[in-house]
Chain A
Amino acid sequence: MADVGLSVAFWPIAALTVVAALAVVSLKNLLHAALALVLSFVGVAAVYVTLRADFVAAVQILIYAGAIAVLILFGILLTGNAIVGNPPNRLRLPAVALSVSLAGLLVWVVSVRTVWPVDAQGGDERLTPVSLIADALFNRFVLPFEVASVMLLAAMLGAIVLTRQD
């Protein structure tokens, strides 16, 4: 079921994603942190490709690496003090302890202890066809789809109202 090419691709992509995420949370320069965030988003898109979820990978590039990254860069530049704007606060040591212990616990529970009911067809070579996603989105999940459009409109209006100067 698991093929060697996938495994060879997985480790560099996973390492790139995690290292870029660590750079986001540790770099002092906020602009560098934002660029590392884009790298991490692209790494996550590559993870989706190795999972044969090509449509989700394309959406990840469009929304995260495109739109959200630009929004965050605007946010950094508009709030100033980008060069040294990312110091740790007083909670740093408790945060390290909590994150490391939670990471150990989560990895032990989800990756080592739990035996997942893996589907016989799961993890094989087929791509998820986009028609399958479209069918699910416009039949079974059509109500959440419509609610999401209303939510996006509300978020847009909210952002305009919050930042209006008068």
Chain B
Amino acid sequence: MVDFFLAVGLPHYLGLGAVLFCVGLYGALSRRNAVAVLMSVEIMLNAVNITFVALSTYVAPAAAAGQIFALFVMTVAAAEVAVGLAIILSVYRQHATVDVERLDSMRG
């Protein structure tokens, strides 16, 4: 038991990434506000990045490919937030709400 707390290694980082991913998943599924959904998706991307960097450090430290992947994920996340917020602002102008349950104009 003491060993579990004092010998932190790869499984601990992967477990942290998994827990953080599921926290973000809960937020993305259960929030009404579209900006809150976007924040939850950011938490999920961070969890994936932790997994990439942990595997890079512990399994293949010479290549650093996991760290490069994390950098690319951050680049795409920045673009995603910019476009996502632009879409949310555009929706807010047209419908005066960002409640994802009330945005059902495409429902048949």
What is A's interface to B at a CB cutoff of 8 Å? Answer: 1-2, 4, 6-7, 10-11, 14, 17-18, 21-22, 24-25, 30, 33-34, 37, 40-41, 44, 47-48, 51-53, 55-56, 59-60, 63-64, 67-68, 71-72, 74-76, 78-80, 85-92, 94-96, 98-100, 102-103, 106-107, 110-112, 116-119, 121-123, 126, 128, 132-133, 136-137, 140-141, 144, 148, 151-152, 154-156, 158-160, 162-163, 165
Q: Report B30 CB to chain A, min CB distance, Å.
A: 4
Q: Report A21 CB to chain B, min CB distance, Å.
A: 4
Contacts of B15-51 to chain A: CB distance below 8 A: 15-27, 29-36, 38-40, 42-43, 46, 49-50
A63 to B16 alpha-carbon distance, docked (Å) = 21
B56 contact set on A, CB distance < 8 A: 53, 128
A140 contact set on B, CB distance < 8 A: 65
Q: Is the pair A40, B9 in contact by a Cβ cutoff of 8 Å?
A: no
Q: Which of A17, A119, A133, A152 contacts B78 (CB 8 A)?
A: A152
Q: Which of A56, A79, A95, A122 contacts B70 (CB 8 A)?
A: A56
